[in-house]
Amino acid sequence: MRQVKRKFRLKPSIVRKCKVLGIILVIILGVYLFYSSQINSLTKLGYSKEASKNILFQFKKEYVLSIGKNKTLNAAFESNDYKEKYLDQYTKIDYQNQKHLIKNINTLIAKGYSNDTISMILAHGSDNDVTQFAKRDKINYLEEFLSVPYAKLSNYDRYVDYSNATGEDDETTVLAVNLDMDKENYKDAIVVKEFSTDMLVNKHRSLNKNFQPDDLVSIDTEYAADDTQKGSRIAVNAFIQMYKAAKKEGYDLVINSSYRSYEEQQEICDTYRDLYGENYVKNYVAMPGFSEHQTGLSFDIGSRNSNVFKDSEEYDWVLENAHKFGFIQRFPSKYEAITGFRSEPWHYRYVGKKIATYIYEHDITLEEYYALFLDTE
Ligand code: ZN
């Protein structure tokens, strides 16, 4: 039997359907390629995928391309709080990495703050500080205090109060309040828990009863007045370097007092209270927990050649050279108002060479150095 070869043919209706399907696929592919090239032009500029998507849906691509890379604008398009009417302002306000950035910017714009003032507000506080601040009525002349680089938004009211009470200028006011000098001595002190060579302990920053330096060692009587002296190893080693350098030039240094525990400081307070009364203790002796001697980083330095250190040749030598070994004179007479302590020419504090040199060269206190560079709270 002869087989009949039959060509395989699709029904015309199916062919038609396939063509339509093909056209649809080509269109989808085209749209997809167009869309991703649009997104790419924005992501290449530095916008996130999420922000780029929203920029396209809001038909703001041309606007954004004309602005270029802008982190605040990116955050605005990433945020549910984006408001089209504030678009121009977003581009002029400095970005900060804060969770409620756009929401807070909206509130501050609505309160009537200028773009520059909003940038300043954002730069001087945390997300929470700004959120709290945004709830307040508008404050005029904010730049009075906030133009000081290390001013804190959260301290604003205290700046106003301190400045009104003392008549001090902006910079002095910000420094004083940041250092809690507007609070009573020994009251509501911050507790410093971590040992470090740049730690700040004073009448507003205290140590716990059980605090002691991580590396407490005994000091050899070659360098100390008696065999009970102790200190942080790093400070003791630095002192030995200084002692030897001084010796080479004919000066004879000695440590008269060094590490003191909380209990030992308590005993000192009690003794002086019995001898000279409460007022003397208040003015001249640090309360237990508030003495730098508890850090192990402070030494009362003397001269083996003279009973009065300040009148000795050793004093002049230490004043000019201590920073090279990482020590600073901690309580100079002209800075009593900042340190909170009467002048103690003999009291030296180890802070490391870098900080000691800065403090020496700029003639400032450890308090000021802390406010400028170390205060991250
Ligand atoms: Zn001392």
Q: Write out pLDDT tens, residues 317-370.
A: 999 999 999 999 999 999 998 998 889 999 999 999 999 999 999 999 999 999
- Distance from the CA of 298 to the center of ligand 1, in angstroms? 6
pLDDT at position 10 over 90: no
How many beta carbons lie within 10 A of that of residue 363, not counting itself? Answer: 10
pLDDT value of position 9: 78
pLDDT at residue 36 tops 90: no
Cβ-based burial of 215 (10 A; exposed 0-12, middle 13-18, buried ≥19) = middle
**Range 216-243 average pLDDT:** 97
Structural domains of the chain sorted by starting position, each given as residue range(s) with its CATH number in brackets:
32-138 (no CATH), 145-178 (no CATH), 190-374 (3.30.1380.10)
Q: How many Å apart are CA 95 and CA 67, to the nearest integer?
A: 15
CA distance 18 to 12: 10
DSSP letter for 82, please. -
| 293 CA from centroid of ligand 1 (Å) | 6
Which residues carry out catalysis? 344
Antiparallel, parallel or unpaired: β 190-191 and 205-206: parallel
Which residue type is seen at 198? D
Residue range 264-281: mean pLDDT, rounded: 92
Coil, helix or strand at residue 304: coil
pLDDT in tens, 156-193: 999 999 999 999 999 999 999 999 999 999 999 999 99
Distance from the CA of 250 to the center of ligand 1, in angstroms?
24
Is the per-residue pLDDT at 4 higher than 70?
A: no
Cα distance between residue 260 and residue 197, in whole Å: 16
Q: Kindly give, in sequence order, each residue whose CB lies less than 8 Å from that of residue 121, ignoring residues fewer than 6 positions away.
A: 108, 113, 130, 133, 142, 146, 153
Strand order in the sheet with 344-350: 253-257, 298-303, 344-350, 327-331
Provide the β-strand partners of residue 302. 254
List, for residues 194-219, the tens digit of each pLDDT value. 999 999 999 999 999 999 998 999 99
Residue 301 CA to ligand 1 centre (angstroms) = 8
**Mean pLDDT across 305-326:** 95
Question: Mapping DSSP to helix (H, G, I), strand (E, B) and coil, where does residue 372 land?
Answer: helix
What was the pLDDT predicted at 233? Answer: 98
pLDDT digits (tens, 9 = 90+) for 64-108: 999 999 999 999 999 999 999 999 999 999 999 999 999 999 999
Residues near 119 by Cβ (< 8 Å), separated by ≥ 6?
A: 93, 94
